[in-house]
Structures are given as structure tokens and as C-alpha cells.
Structure 1
Amino acid sequence: MDSVTQIALGVSVASAIGFKAYGKKAILIGAALGTLPDLDVLINYGDAVANYTYHRGFSHSLFVLSALAIGLFILARSFVQTAKDNPWRTFLMIWLSLITHPLLDSFTTYGTQLFWPMPLMPTSWSSMFIIDPLYTLPLLISLLGLWLSKNSRRWQRINLAALTFSCLYLLASQGAKWQINQQLQAAQLTPSPVFISPMPFNIISWRILRYDGQQYSEALTYVGNKQPLKWQTHDTGRALLQQFQSPELARLEWFSNGFLSFQQQQGALHVTDLRLGMAGYFPFTFHIAQQQEGQWQAVDSVQLPQPKVEAARMKQLYRQVFSQHPDNLAQAER
């Protein structure tokens, strides 16, 4: 999720547990701990693919963050009297403020390596867009109230209500995704790998991606849609690979669970993660190889500039989703 949301969640969790003992210091503690896991973006892993696939790695590991929580608790108890007087409250405040960050990230599409260093697929429950105002605003309101108001008891209750709402909203997002999956099952399509993800800023409108290796198809829909799904099909470009292999490509295959497309432009091989974005706007495309004497030669990967998001296109896209225009995706690309 975005940084503002993670700060708001960290503050809400820390305040729910530690406000009685730490007062407004709990707000600062929660903001710091809620931000900490994302500081891995400051690390340069050597190339664009590495930076992309190692983000949300060790810094989002439940093992690493739990160990860090123990260390911070021992440090706090050694120097802070409040921590000595409230050991369990202090530990839970630190631990939950840390681990709720990657748990929330796991609801998004990107992928979070919760169990690093175990070589497991990144966790992606894919039911929340990275920015969702309806999730974030109640947490922000309670944050501001706790910080600015002198009636702390009232705002502690409001904070608990906001935190409860945020949990229920996450459950609702999974329920919405289940309903979209029911629409897909009702279509009785040929079995193939499927990835379902929410469209920007809400849990009502959704994108369905089907992938069979040589082609991928996209459909846009919404919760409660009774109309048949309308699909647009595209070539994945996998035939371009021939026999090409590289560590960067293998890493991307693992990270994306194989939902990739390939393009050749001026002798360069580009690879796109199809899970994020939609037709006409894919933010993560990488140059991974260059053609030499008819063969692909691996190069240090570089991320291509992200396409611009136009407000007019987004408005048109949402209109087409809810009107179920048969050419919704095709029009969105133009």
C-alpha cells in the first residue's frame, strides 16, 4: 500500500495498544514502525529486475520483523521506564505495528515475501489496490483526532472503530474478489491460469487476466455484474524468446508466477509484468536482452519509463466497465 496508508495503519495499531501507556508518543512510534519496512526501496540491488523483485523481500519478512521487534523491545526496556512498567503492551505495540505493514501489502497485487528467506512464491491476495481512499480515510481521521484533540478517550474509541472498519474492509475485498471469481466460473471457460485484481481506488470494479502461454485475455467487470464477460485477447510474445534464458528472466517468471508478455523493439527484448496495470497501461516493463547475430544476449536490466495515466482515459474506462461495452478494453488502449 502507499506510504500514507502504512503510516496511518501503524499509528492506529500502536495507539490502540500503547496510547494508555505512551500517550501521543504512541503516534510517533506507530508512524516510524509503519514506515520502516518500506525503507528497502533505498537499497540498490544492482539492476532494475533485482530492485523490482527484491522489494518487499527481507524487510517484509514476518521472521525478520518479529526478530527486529524482539530486539527493539529489549532495547526499549533497557532505557525507557514506560517499557519496563508495561512490557507486554510495549512488545505488542512494536511487533504488531511492524508486521501489519507486510500483511496489508499482501492484500495488493504486487507480491510480498512474507516468509523470506524461505524460497516461496510472494504472497499476493490481490484484493486491494495500492491506494484506496475508503480504506485509508478513517485511519487518517483517527490519526489526526488523536494528535490534535484533548479528548483522548473519545478518539481512542474512534481509533478502535476505524481499525475495526479497516479489518472489515479487507474482508469485504476478499468477498468481492470471490464474487468476481464466481462470474468467471459461470462463464465455463477452458481452464487456464487466472489472475484477478481490483481496479484503481476501489473494490467494486475488477480486472480478470487469463493466460495460456501464447495468448492472454483481459476482461473488466464489477461486483454484481450479470452480463457475460467481454474479453480482449493479445499475443504474449513468448515465441520471441526462442531458447533464451537468463537469471533475470527466471527471477521475473518466479516473481510474477509466469504472467509475462514479451516485445521486440529495435533489437531489444522487453518483458512486461501483466499482473499490474491493464491493456494500454502496464507500469513494469524491462529491457533484459539485446539481439546480437540473431541471438538474444542478456544485458543488465533497465526499467522502461512508465506510461502516463490520463484522467480522461480513467473516466472512460470506468464508464465502460459499468456499461459493459463490448469493446471496453480495445477502446481503453486507444
Structure 2
Amino acid sequence: MDSLTQIVLGAAVGEAILGKKAGNKAMLYGAIAGTIPDLDVFASYFTDTVSALAIHRGFTHSIVFSLLFAPILAWIVSRYETFKNFKSWFWLFFWSFVTHPILDAHTTWGTQLFWPFDLRLAFKTIFVIDPLYTLPFLVFLILAMRQKRTSEKRRFYNKMGLIISTSYLILTFLLKWMAFIQFESALKTQNIDYLEIDTRPSPLNTILWSVNVQTEDAYLLGNYSFFDTQPIPFESYTKNHELLGDLVENESVKRMIAISEGWYTINKKDDTLYFNDLRFGLLSLAPKSENFVFKYRLDIDASGKVTFNEAPKDSRDGKKLLTELWQRIKGN
């Protein structure tokens, strides 16, 4: 999830564990701990694109990380804070750490919560930024923050924020299932044979859902809004995996295929290959758009080394997509 959401979650967890004894400092340390797992993004400055993608939401988003670093920070803080109970600080940092990847596990990218095991949890029930999750949570956190440390209202407001946000998170599973049923029904009605189906919410909401459908030679992409009245249209994108040729045996290429979980297409333009990660969809709802959210250019040097470089995005595409999403949410 986005940084603001993780700050709010961490602060609320800190308050729930130690707010009565440490007051707003519990929120502060919880908020800090809630952002620490995302420091893995700095890996992109020190390594190649593929390695950075593999690292992201890996070790720092695991239970192992929480168990290793919670006692270290608890020891440091308990040395200089007025409230010096190590055990209490440990639980604050541990739960602030571990709730971060648990929340991220509900997004499309997912997390390696059980690192070092090669298992990425990705429930794909909520977009990385969802105002319906974050804003009510934030309001209750601010209300709690304004109360005295020992106030019953403070605990009530914080508890309500946690309950409402968690309830919404649970609701997204039901919404995902309802959307899945519609996609499955549409495929059956249109006599489309498929190998695999993958659903996810569209940006900023859980009303409009997107689907990737794998067939023998292509992927079908479609959208469904709970306000739709017309059949669901699917756009076909040829896999073109054969364009990789011998590169399919290259270690970097194999790692990228694994990272994309096999949901990718290959395009060739001016003798240059492009790798499109389909898990995150398109930057446009226009028919037959090739403007994928994550598109990588394959550069090959004289020694045969393959480097993936993300294709630049145009900020205007994002603004246009928001307008298109708003119209599409209202139904087809």
C-alpha cells in the first residue's frame, strides 16, 4: 500500500499496543516502523532492474525481518524513553512491522511474508491506493490523537479505525468473488476456452474490476463494473513469447518471467524487444491499447548480457486514465 496508508496503520497499531502508557509517542514510533519495510525500494539505486524487483517486498516484508529488527529497535528506544519496558516496545515494533506486509499481501504485487521460502502472497483484493480504506482510518486516528492519553474516547476512536478498515479489507474478498463470477459467466456465454483467470481491482476503487485471461496463444483483458448493464468485452493480446528466441534461457529473462508469474507479452519495435508485465494492466481503457503500466525494454550488449529498462511513462497518461476510470466505473 502507499506510504500514507502504512503510516496510518503503523500509528494505529502503536496506539493500540502502547498508547495508554506512551501516548502520541506510541503513534509516532508505530508510524515510523510502519514505513521501514518499504526502504527496500532503495535497492533500485544499487542494483539492476530485475534484482530490484525481486528484492521489493521480500526480506523486509517478512516475519523473519520483524522478529530480527523489532528487538533491536525496542532495545534502542527503551534505553532513552521515559517508559522503558522492553517487552512492550518489542510488541509495538513487531506488530507495526508485520502488519505492513500483511496489508500489502492484499495488493496485486503481494509480499514474501514467509521469506526465505519462495512464496509470494498476493490476494489482489485492493489497489495500492484506496481512499475508502485509508481516509476513514485516518480520520479516526486524528480523533484519537486529539484525546488525552488515558481517555476512553482515545481508545474508542483508534479501535473504530482499526475495525472499519479491517472490515473493508474483508469486504474486498467478497467483491472480488462477485466480480470473478461475472467474468467467468461472460467467458462461458461467449464460448471462450481459457487456461487461467486472474482478477484485481482497478486503481483507487473496488467497484471496477479488471481481469487477465490466459488462452492458448493470447491473453484476454477485460473490465467489469458493478454498475454494468452490457456484456463484458475482452481485448486480445497475442503472447508473442517466441520472439524471445534463445533469450528465454537467459538468467535475467527467466527471473523476469518468474516475477511476472508468467503473465507477460513480448513486442518488437525497431528490432528492440519489449517485455510487458500484464499483472498491472494498462494506462488506458481505450480498445487495443498497448500502453502497459509496466513495460521494459530489453537491451543486449556485445557480451550477450540482457538488461531490462523500464519504458518511461507520460504523466498525461495517468491523468487521462483517471478520467477514463471515472467514466467506466459508472457502467458500460
Report the TM-score, using the length of structure 1 for normalisation. 0.87
Does the alignment pair 1:304 with 2:311? yes
Counterpart among 253, 273, 277 of residue 257 in structure 2: 253
Pairs aligned (count): 318
Note if contact 1:282-1:307 (Cα within 8 Å) is conserved in structure 2.
no
Q: Deviation at 1:81?
A: 5.6
Q: Deviation at 1:212?
A: 2.8
Note if contact 1:17-1:92 (Cα within 8 Å) is conserved in structure 2.
yes
Note if contact 1:48-1:286 (Cα within 8 Å) is conserved in structure 2.
no
Q: Deviation at 1:217?
A: 0.7
Match for residue 126 of structure 1? 124
Does the alignment pair 1:58 with 2:66? no
Structure 1 runs (4+) deviating above 6 angstroms are none
Match for residue 163 of structure 2? 164
Q: Name the SS of the counterpart of 1:275 in structure 2.
A: strand
Match for residue 235 of structure 2? 232
Residues 96, 73 of structure 1: alpha-carbon distance in 2 compared, 3 angstrom cutoff: same
Note if contact 1:129-1:198 (Cα within 8 Å) is conserved in structure 2.
yes
Moved more, 146-155 or 229-238: 146-155
1:294-327 Cα offsets, whole Å, 9 max, x none, are: xx94432221112433434432344245432xxx
Match for residue 111 of structure 1? 110
Match for residue 284 of structure 1? 294
Residues 71, 291 of structure 1: alpha-carbon distance in 2 compared, 3 angstrom cutoff: closer
Q: Name the SS of the counterpart of 2:280 in structure 1.
A: coil
Q: Percent identity?
A: 31
- Mapped to 1, the partners of 2:223 and 2:329 lie a distance apart of 6
- Indicate the RMSD between aligned Cα atoms, in angstroms: 2.4
Residues 115, 15 of structure 1: alpha-carbon distance in 2 compared, 3 angstrom cutoff: same
- Mapped to 2, the partners of 1:28 and 1:314 lie a distance apart of 33
Match for residue 13 of structure 1? 13
Q: Deviation at 1:76?
A: 4.4
Q: Deviation at 1:180?
A: 1.0
Q: Deviation at 1:15?
A: 0.6
Note if contact 1:142-1:162 (Cα within 8 Å) is conserved in structure 2.
yes
Q: Which runs of 5+ in 1 are unaligned?
A: 325-334
Q: Deviation at 1:112?
A: 1.4
Residues 213, 34 of structure 1: alpha-carbon distance in 2 compared, 3 angstrom cutoff: farther
Q: Deviation at 1:146?
A: 3.4
- Mapped to 1, the partners of 2:163 and 2:38 lie a distance apart of 24
- Mapped to 1, the partners of 2:79 and 2:271 lie a distance apart of 60
- Mapped to 1, the partners of 2:261 and 2:320 lie a distance apart of 32
Note if contact 2:220-2:237 (Cα within 8 Å) is conserved in structure 1.
yes
Q: Deviation at 1:63?
A: 1.6
- Mapped to 1, the partners of 2:34 and 2:93 lie a distance apart of 10
- Mapped to 2, the partners of 1:69 and 1:170 lie a distance apart of 26
Q: Deviation at 1:282?
A: 2.0
Q: Deviation at 1:31?
A: 1.1
For 1:28-47, list aligned pairs within 5 A.
28-43=28-43, 44-47=45-48
Q: Name the SS of the counterpart of 1:284 in structure 2.
A: strand
Match for residue 147 of structure 1? 145
Counterpart among 265, 269, 291 of residue 269 in structure 2: 265
Does the alignment pair 1:274 with 2:275? no
Residues 185, 310 of structure 1: alpha-carbon distance in 2 compared, 3 angstrom cutoff: closer
Q: Deviation at 1:222?
A: 2.1
- Mapped to 1, the partners of 2:305 and 2:326 lie a distance apart of 39
Match for residue 324 of structure 2? 316
Note if contact 2:125-2:201 (Cα within 8 Å) is conserved in structure 1.
yes
- Mapped to 2, the partners of 1:312 and 1:51 lie a distance apart of 29
Counterpart among 219, 222, 242 of residue 219 in structure 1: 222
1:196-239 Cα offsets, whole Å, 9 max, x none, are: 11011111110011123531111110237564321111112212
Note if contact 1:284-1:306 (Cα within 8 Å) is conserved in structure 2.
no
Does the alignment pair 1:208 with 2:206? no
Q: Deviation at 1:65?
A: 1.5
Match for residue 100 of structure 1? 99
Q: Deviation at 1:55?
A: 0.8
Q: Name the SS of the counterpart of 1:232 in structure 2.
A: strand
Pick 1 or 2: higher relative contact order, CA cutoff 8 A, min separation 6. Answer: 1
- Mapped to 2, the partners of 1:129 and 1:311 lie a distance apart of 17
- Mapped to 1, the partners of 2:96 and 2:177 lie a distance apart of 29
- Mapped to 2, the partners of 1:72 and 1:213 lie a distance apart of 51
1:216-272 Cα offsets, whole Å, 9 max, x none, are: 111110237564321111112212112322222111211121001111122221101
Match for residue 332 of structure 1? none
Q: Deviation at 1:79?
A: 5.4
- Mapped to 2, the partners of 1:224 and 1:171 lie a distance apart of 21
1:165-206 Cα offsets, whole Å, 9 max, x none, are: 111111011110011111123232423122211011111110
